[in-house]
Structure 1
């Protein structure tokens, strides 16, 4: 498999849950510079994220993401609440969730892993370092790791 293909030979579906427009822009830039094809969907709060994942309302046709990048500090329903609901849902819990946040607080790290986050990344303040972090994460998750297939629980 070449680096330009995702693990299934088709673009990876990534859901970014992020309310900071600057961080959304940097994440898009990092993926654009990367050689791994993906479709990046962006929602800006926790409620919207859960609607997307449950295919409710305007997200009725949303794809099931292969991976979720989740900020903890969100308006309304925060990242921890999203993570708890997601991992409590048998049809969604197998989707890997990477917490990508500015928080370096130990309690946030511990809580995220207790809620079954698959990884915890702290956003670097420097834009170039931020892009490097996202690219390193992308290469690891889509070139090295085998992601679970979608399971039909109906």
Structure 2
């Protein structure tokens, strides 16, 4: 199934402090058969600067999809999610929480903060790659993502 966004690359923002998890995620999307540009930032403050196109990110493209870890240094993923979903200019961007936490409180809180999806990262590398493939297949191939107005 192809979505109607095959005419330009899908812009993805990965907010992840673990270089090894970021590299696995990036590899998964690089191997995708759908054109995408994945940008990686390592903390919440940088993510918000990117999303608000501030400072060095003034010319950064608006993401079509955000992959967000919860356990970030400084401003954590819950705070980032709160800011995204309370900002009228950002709230329609789908946010996939991709985190190691399987805690029911984190899951419920993320959905209460309007996360679009919650995925627990497997510890096994092969399973992690499979999860990234599933995210790619669903969010990049099957879903119609909102575009900037």
Q: Give 1:50-129 correspondences, 5 Å limit.
A: 50-129=48-127
Normalising by structure 1, we get a TM-score of 0.93
Instruction: Report whether the alignment pairs 1:33 with 2:31.
Output: yes
Normalising by structure 2, we get a TM-score of 0.96
CA–CA separation in structure 2 for the residues paired with 1:6 and 1:48: 30
SS of alignment partner, residue 78 of structure 2: helix
Number of residue pairs aligned between Structure 1 and Structure 2: 149
CA–CA separation in structure 2 for the residues paired with 1:126 and 1:134: 12
**How far apart are residue 67 of structure 1 and its match?**
0.3
Q: CA RMSD in A?
A: 1.3
**How far apart are residue 56 of structure 1 and its match?**
0.5
Structure 2 regions of 5+ residues with no counterpart?
none
Partner of 1:42: 40
Once superposed, which parts of structure 1, at least 4 consecutive aligned residues long, lie more than 4 Å away?
A: none
